[in-house]
A and B are shown apart, each in its own frame.
Chain A
Amino acid sequence: MIMANVHDAEGVPDPTDFPKSIKGLRALDESLRCSICLEIFDAPMSLPCGHSFCSLCIRENILTRKECARCRKQADDFHLTKNAQLEEAALNWKIARPAVLDLITQLENAKAEAERYRARLEKGKGKASPTSDAEERDSSSRPAKRRRTSADSGDDVQSTSTAHLVAEEEEDEEEDDPHADYIPSSDVEEQSIQEDGVVVCPINNKHKTHISHINAHIDSACTAHIYRPGHRPTKHAPASTAKMKPSAKSAWNSVFQSNSRTSSRDSSSKGKSSRSPSTTSTNERLPKVSYSVQKDKKIRDLLQEHGLSLNGTREQQIARHQHYVTLYNANLDRPPAQCKSTDELRRELRKWEDSLSVKKVEITDPKAYLRKNNDHFKAQVNALNERRRLEKKAANEGNKVVHIEASEMDESPHAKDNGTEQDDIVSDSEGEREIC
């Protein structure tokens, strides 16, 4: 009961939700979590060393350190491979977790109640101690009975929630079906080789082509060498290619969209089922950019290309683009149902940028703020002017420069002095900006 409260209150589920008394559950929950963000795996990727992390987490980590976060073996983007099995386990655990927690709570409630009941009986027995043997036998048999009923109720809980789980598993299987359908389709294709060597394209399942042209057909994105009954298979048909282009495109789209439509049902848990077709049509990762050799304009172009804000300094722009590329590429590692739209990615990017400036002081009324802090700003401006005057003076009296520097050096170990001085400089510039 207490557990559930804490769990609800914090709203951040973690392995300690599970009691230690149930062997392995806590460890299981831990092992299905990314060791960087401590969340249940989101699009887990494996490194050659065998460690897995959320795609986004490890991609961000590789940006700063090209190593595995756990064992520090060398690692890079291209080492990352999708861990489909783990992904499935994590997705299923996400569904099962609340059910299991619920089960544990109910079990504990039942246990507590049984305990209370027994205590009450013991009390009653203590009072009525001089009663007959029969009575005593009766009371001693009752807790046992009670225990059994509590166990029964426990079983009930188990059976209902297992039924629940089973139901969900079945749903999962249904969701997997499209993929399941897809694989046998290659068998179908093999079977469907007609006597004249015409086969159905394994990519879009629509176009027919001669077996000898199947590779060329696939290489041309299913546009060339399309077989039509009555026509002899042509070797090059540029006119028909041009004609077929839109339909081929729509065929591609239909392939991807049908996939997403069938599997977007379980995305309700994340509440992010809306997808723009733009993400589905392009499945290519964004390349990394070596920002240091790019001109400012190029960086702005890069940002504009993805509809990102052009605010901030060059460094901020680079950080924004870099993070967007990471978000985008990590998003592609998600299963189609969990993929987010570019709009959502941009929203996430904004959230990330906001989180970077956590201690931002919000100024609602700039004028009032100025008035309120006017004295402070003036004092700082005066201090700055005073320091400049001193510096000039020192510059004039060449010898003294060395002396002042030396004295400053002496002071430097005192962190406090240093700190306040730095603060001054920073707030000086702020103050000036405000007043200007």
Chain B
Amino acid sequence: MAARGSGASTAARRLMKEYMDLTKNGSPDGMFTAGPISESDFFTWEALICGPKDTPFEGGVFLAKLTFPSDYPLSPFKMKFDPPLFHPNVYPDGTVCISILHTPGDDPTHYEQASERWSPVQCVEKVILSVVSMLAEPNLESGANIDCCKLYRDNKEEYERIVRAKVREQLEVDLGEDEAQ
């Protein structure tokens, strides 16, 4: 194992360090956990994120898949909620649209400031914390799910109702699966 650690690429070594930090220090308030799915592939992680308090997402637990590029940390990783999340800044396929995960080159919505973009000193922990705060306060200027954006702007109550229903539905599904097992 030691040999693997020393012989690994820069990206893998950095991911190992981040993983060590997360497992040893934990996340702030225990809001999320994250780690590689399998020992053999350090470039695909899974994160479990708790819905932040005082938001319609409260009580939910959301699974996200993190895919790291081989030149990480020069390029940001990708984050995708699975199952997709109903949120103004999450594409219908579950991919998270957040400025901290965009390089200066790509600006899909043209509303982002360079200061909020990815930089190699960002890390999984910071990004997930940003995503958690994004769950609480959607950024309507750079919407990914336009229907959801509209709903949030015009009828926030209905939006919150749908989110709550989805969270409950998802939890029930999980329960059902557990019972089946």
Interface residues of A (CB under 8 A from B): 6, 8-12, 14-16, 35-39, 57, 60-61, 64-65, 67, 69-70, 72, 351-352, 355-359, 413, 415-416
Contacts and interface: CB of A to CB of B under 8 A. Distances in A.
Contact of A11 (B4, B10, B11, B121): B4
Q: Which 10 A-B pairs have the closest CB atoms?
A: A11-B5, A11-B2, A415-B93, A355-B9, A16-B24, A12-B5, A35-B121, A36-B120, A12-B16, A38-B17
Contacts of B174: none
B150 interface: no
B70 interface: yes
Interface residues of B, number: 36
Contacts of A10: 1-2, 5, 16, 20
B35 to A, nearest CB: 13
Contact of B13 (A16, A37, A69): A37
Contacts of A67: 119
B74 A60 contact: yes
Contacts of A6: 20, 24
A25 to B, nearest CB: 14
Interface in B1-50: 1-6, 8-14, 16-18, 20-21, 24-25, 43
A39 B12 CA distance: 12
Interface in B105-149: 105, 114-115, 119-121
A201 B31 CA distance: 67
B74 A61 contact: yes
A358 B43 contact: yes
Contacts of B9: 351-352, 355, 358
Given A11-B5, A413-B92, A72 B119 contact: yes
Contacts of A65: 103-104, 119
B71 interface: yes
A16 B103 CA distance: 29
Contacts of B60: none
A63 B1 CA distance: 33
